[in-house]
Amino acid sequence: MKKDKITTVEGPIVNMHGSLDETPVDGIVEKQMLVTSTRTLSFDDWKKTRVYASVSELIYFNKIFQIPLLVLNKLEKINFRTLFEHFMNTSKDFPIINKTVKNFYSHAEQIANGKSEFCYKEGLLDIYWPPGEFEYINLVKNNKINAFYQEFEENFKSFCKSDLSAKTFKDSVELNKKMMRLPDCSINDIFVDKYNIYKTYQSIIKMEDHDFKRSKEINLEIIRDDMKFNSFEEWLREVIWYGHRSGKYLYKVLENDKLDILDKNDMTGRHVS
């Protein structure tokens, strides 16, 4: 270890979505040794790696910006490393994104000081959350999610070099925002898809070819009334905790040519009257 300049830190073994009440029956609390730097990996690079992982979790794997990121990846051939690092290097002109990245760095430093790999805050079901989920929860709880989308669109639109990608990107941000299952949204909504975004998104995640293009307008119905939540805590439990591997982050979407877009403010259930 001395030759390879391996630096380690001892920290608690905590299960993702585990509780503080999970005391071992035998009273033995397990710990782990984490490597925080080596001869070929500086501590600063280790922190960047932790932050990179948390950023990819938050903006892609938690679905928040998955669709517009795929648009930029496919239409402008921007690789995901570039996209994630662009988010990491966001300027102070975008305070919510900037604060989110700072929180990731702060958490990495806490890990290096012997704290848990996961985040705990009393009142959030009193369990441990992955850093990306933890930031998403706080964005929703503090009513900053809409501003988060605005900052993302403004920050990433510079990648668009053609009129098609610019318009597809803008619409894809709106569609992705509408599709996120939030605690206070239970009235169905519609999205007019002009660039074959939803079908292409489904094709990409099935490892099929993409086909973003100007197309016949398709009315998509965002199904929000299939689940209703009596509290923020219920949303945390059913969507973020229980649903993080089962697709509950996103609302279901139906293609419905019978929808009248002029009636969207009158939508009270599954169908438009």
Bridge partners of residue 119, in order along the sequence:
129
pLDDT at 231: 96
**Single-letter code of the amino acid located at 171:** D
Bridge partners of residue 192, in order along the sequence:
219
Bridge partners of residue 8, in order along the sequence:
35
**Parallel, antiparallel or unpaired: strands 218-223 and 189-193:** antiparallel
**Single-letter code of the amino acid located at 59:** I
pLDDT at 24: 67
Asked if 50 contacts 18 with a C-beta cutoff of 8 angstroms, the reply is no
Instruction: Using alpha carbons, select from 73, 103, 252 the residue that is nearest to residue 165.
Output: 73
Q: Report residue 262 as tokens.
A: 């002029």
Cα atoms in the 13 Å half-sphere on the side-chain side of 105? 12
Q: Report residue 119 as tokens.
A: 């985040």
Instruction: Using alpha carbons, select from 8, 10, 30, 6 the residue that is nearest to residue 18.
Output: 30
Q: Report residue 229 as tokens.
A: 């939540």
Alpha helices in the chain (DSSP H): 43-56, 66-75, 80-88, 95-112, 131-141, 145-156, 163-179, 197-205, 232-235
Radius of gyration of the chain (CA): 21
Contacts of 224 (CB under 8 A, 6+ apart): 181, 185, 186, 187, 188, 189, 251
Helix, strand, or coil here: 88? helix
How is the chain split into domains, by residue range? 7-266
pLDDT by residue for the chain (273 residues), tens digit each?
A: 678 889 999 999 888 999 876 666 777 778 999 999 999 999 999 999 999 999 999 999 999 999 999 999 999 999 999 999 999 999 999 999 999 999 999 999 999 999 999 999 999 999 999 999 999 999 999 999 999 999 999 999 999 999 999 999 999 999 999 999 999 999 999 999 999 999 999 999 899 887 899 999 999 999 999 999 999 999 999 999 999 877 799 999 998 765 444 343 333 333 222
Instruction: Using alpha carbons, select from 170, 142, 137, 146 the residue that is nearest to residue 156.
Output: 170
Alpha helices in 113-144 (DSSP H): 131-141
> Residue 237 carries which DSSP code?
I
Whole-angstrom CA distances from 261 to 140, 174, 192 are: 28, 16, 8
pLDDT at 265: 39
pLDDT at 28: 76
